[in-house]
């Protein structure tokens, strides 16, 4: 009986999640024993606060991986860097509202995702090659804006960076709340919408998805738009942590 249970557990599609959860509990337990104050709710919440940009970026990449055809987006780290630098330069050199600056950054992420999606979908180019190219493009544009670190000292933007949701003795940053919202939103989209089912379908077998009448090309383009948008949104949250723009921001985040 135990052998059958273990076999079913290993064969389950959720096995990686179970292993990750078990490792987290074990490591958190060791930390709680070894370090005073480690076993607290705020330490757990800090995991979301510190990793909010990565969580948001990962949500976007999840869509590209599920869509198949070697789906991946290597440009996300560069988009994060370009987003931070664009925000820093706009708020340093112009009087544009920080909210308009953020809208511009999200539009940049949308555009990068659209370019990736069109090249991959309609020219049948490998996602690895296309997104590698846009990664170099975005890094280059960041370096053109400035090779030095550019601080963000706009008071209104700083207020957003330090804004937090407090409950009792604990708090969550605005970036962490956005990250958790994006995870919930992505889960609902993938599980309960026709678009989400379409993403799974083309990732499983694109030819069968076409025979089912799904608009596979449209779905794949939208998948990369989502990834680009999430990378830009992650860049905004990253800028709230760093309060600067720099060419090396987000380096390695694509992996």
List, for residues 27-48, the tens digit of each pLDDT value: 989 998 999 888 889 999 999 9
Q: Evaluate whether 64 touches 73 at the Cβ level (below 8 Å).
A: yes
Looking at residue 16, its pLDDT comes to 87
Looking at residue 11, its pLDDT comes to 77
Question: What is the reported pTM?
Answer: 0.92
Kindly give the parts of the chain with pLDDT less than 50. none
Looking at residue 255, its pLDDT comes to 76
Kindly report the backbone phi and psi dihedral angles of residue 234, in degrees, each rounded to the nearest multiple of 5, phi listed first: -65, -35
Looking at residue 9, its pLDDT comes to 73
Q: Evaluate whether 228 touches 240 at the Cβ level (below 8 Å).
A: no
Task: Cite the DSSP H helix spans in the chain.
Answer: 2-11, 15-34, 41-66, 76-93, 98-122, 127-145, 155-162, 174-192, 194-204, 206-211, 216-242
Domain limits of the chain?
1-39, 43-245
């Amino acid at each position: 009986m135990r052998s059958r249970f273990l076999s079913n557990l290993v064969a389950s599609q959720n096995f990686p999640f179970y292993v990750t959860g078990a490792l987290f509990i074990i490591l958190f337990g060791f930390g709680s024993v070894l370090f005073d104050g480690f076993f607290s709710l705020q330490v757990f919440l800090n995991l979301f606060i510190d990793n909010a940009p990565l969580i948001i970026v990962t949500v976007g990449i999840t869509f590209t991986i599920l869509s198949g055809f070697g789906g991946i987006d290597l440009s996300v780290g560069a988009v994060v860097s370009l987003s931070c630098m664009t925000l820093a330069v706009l708020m340093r050199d112009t009087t544009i509202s920080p909210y308009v600056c953020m809208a511009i950054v999200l539009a940049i992420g949308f555009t990068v995702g659209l370019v990736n999606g069109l090249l991959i979908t309609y020219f049948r180019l490998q996602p690895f090659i296309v997104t590698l190219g846009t990664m170099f493009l975005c890094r280059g544009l960041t370096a053109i804006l400035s090779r030095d670190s550019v601080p963000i000292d706009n008071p209104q933007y700083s207020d957003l960076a330090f804004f937090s949701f407090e409950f009792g003795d604990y708090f969550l940053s605005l970036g962490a709340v956005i990250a958790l919202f994006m995870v919930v939103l992505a889960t609902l989209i993938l599980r309960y919408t026709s678009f989400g089912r379409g993403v799974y379908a083309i990732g499983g077998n694109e030819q069968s998805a076409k025979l089912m009448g799904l608009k596979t090309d449209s779905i794949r383009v939208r998948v990369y738009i989502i990834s680009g948008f999430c990378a830009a949104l992650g860049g905004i949250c990253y800028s709230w942590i760093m309060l600067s723009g720099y060419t090396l921001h987000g380096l390695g985040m694509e992996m």
